[in-house]
Amino acid sequence: MVINIVASFYFYDLAIKREKKDFLVGNDDLTVSSEAMDVFIEGSWRDWESKQRFAEWSIHSFDGLKLFGNYLEAEEPTNKTVIFAHGYLGKSRDMALYGQHYYEDLGYNIFSPDLRGHGKSEGDYIGFGWHDRLDYVKWIDRVIEEQGPDTEIILHGLSMGAATVLMTSGEDLPDNVKAVIADSPYTSSYDLFDHQMERMYNLPSFPVLPTTNLVTNMQAGYSLTEASALEQVKKAEVPILYLHGDSDSFVPTDMTNQLYSNTKSEADMTIFENAGHGEAFAIYPDKYESVLSDFLTKYMD
């Protein structure tokens, strides 16, 4: 019993508490292909991002945290805005990899927040999308406030950010939100931890994970089981596009299959061959952009 409790606090500190994380270094499931690495490290999007003049926005969350995000107005006036959601341990400007396409090719305004516990945003824990979903409802309201009632909004998330926008999709959203793009999402935080405990530590989920669930609820105010994208998409009214690589062992591709099969709203899914976790856009930019364009054409006015 004591060992179980100690282990549960260890895993909470390891994965959820806001602090430097080293445990993903050397994780074979996150080994990036050389083709994708070239894009991530040396892609033109980095130079593009560094030259843009982002405006900094802030809001206060339901639990009193000050959250920050970066907004870039389109070159030509438009009522279309994409709100990004970055991945675990990432930051808002990482999503410029996708932002450049939305900005230069699609002519969108782009807005990218730092999720709670990341970047400039406050928070001493990582929400894995659950409390973040309520933050995103407030960010959506902020975009509408800034741009007016006719604005059209896309939510586009990667990995943990994909789970975040899917969790957001199950909330009561304004009609301004036209579509959700979920790239490499997980079904729930509990399912992801279950998978990774076996992959990384060769441990069964019981009894440590249920106790970690209790510790998370005590320390961060949410449980890993309730942080479920799967349950949220069963309530979704907004169309959802699912994207995933079939060589993703960090977040199994089958999680996207489950999400797609359980989505209440209209949904499409594209699986990219030989793409690892979050690699699809880097390896298949033309196909990714084509799939995205076809989907947006169906649902944007």
The average pLDDT across 265-292 equals 97
User: Which secondary structure element, helix H or strand E, spans residue 257, and what is its range?
Assistant: helix 253-261
Q: Given this model, what pLDDT does residue 1 score?
A: 56
Q: Where are the beta strands (DSSP E) in 137-235?
A: 152-158, 177-183
What does the pLDDT look like over 57-113, one tens digit per residue? 999 999 999 999 999 999 999 999 999 999 999 999 999 999 999 999 999 999 999
Provide φ and ψ at 144, rounded to 5°. -65, -40
Q: What is the CATH number of domain 2-16+29-299?
A: 3.40.50.1820
Structure confidence at residue 13 (pLDDT): 83
- pLDDT for residue 199: 75
pLDDT for 27: 58
Query: What is the structure's pLDDT at 15?
Result: 85
Find, among 223, 237, 300, the residue nearest to 267 by Cα: 237
Beta-bridge partner residues of 37 = none
Give mean pLDDT, residues 133-139: 98
For the chain, the C-alpha Rg in angstroms (whole number) is: 18
DSSP one-letter code for 128: T
Query: Alpha-carbon distance 126 to 116, whole Å?
Result: 7
Domain map (residue ranges) of the chain: 2-16+29-299
Query: Shortest CA distance to 287 belongs to which of 276, 271, 299, 300?
Result: 271
**Lowest mean pLDDT, pick from 122-126, 168-172, 201-205:** 201-205
Please state the rounded mean pLDDT for residues 122-141: 98
Of the given ranges (59-68, 203-212, 287-296), which has the lowest mean pLDDT?
Answer: 203-212
Arithmetic mean of pLDDT over the chain: 92
CA distance 280 to 183: 8
The predicted pLDDT at position 300 comes to 87
Alpha-carbon span 193 to 283, nearest angstrom: 27
DSSP E strand stretches across the chain = 55-60, 66-72, 80-85, 109-113, 152-158, 177-183, 240-245, 267-272
At 260 the pLDDT is: 98
| Predicted confidence (pLDDT) at residue 202 exceeds the cutoff of 70 | no
Judged against a pLDDT cut of 60, whether residue 3 lies above it is answered with: no
pLDDT at 169: 98
